[in-house]
Amino acid sequence: MNELAPFGRMLMVFGVALLMIGALLTVAGRVPRLPGDILIRRDSVVVYIPLATSIVLSIVLTFVFSLLARR
């Protein structure tokens, strides 16, 4: 049974990661558009490029992961 312990931990980590990604995607629809985001509307095509949102999200995630890595 001991040889299956690492596999079980790996499955739990993947499960938590999927849960977090799912929660993030659920909340992502409620994120307001920032002033640096690009929105192009043509006849039947809408292109949304969340440039400022991506930069802010990158900074926040970098800060969170750097705090977690210090442990």
Could you tell me how many residues make up the chain?
A: 71
Q: What is the dihedral angle through the alpha carbons of 16, 20, 26, 27, rounded to the nearest 10 degrees?
A: 150
Q: What is the pLDDT of residue 71?
A: 67
Q: What is the pLDDT of residues 14-57, one digit of tens each?
A: 888 888 888 887 777 776 778 888 889 999 998 888 888 889 88
52: its two tokens: 């400022």
The yes-or-no verdict on residue 1 having pLDDT over 60 is no
Q: What is the pLDDT of residue 45?
A: 93
| Global pTM value | 0.53
Q: What is the pLDDT of residue 41?
A: 92
CB 56 within 8 A of CB 34: yes
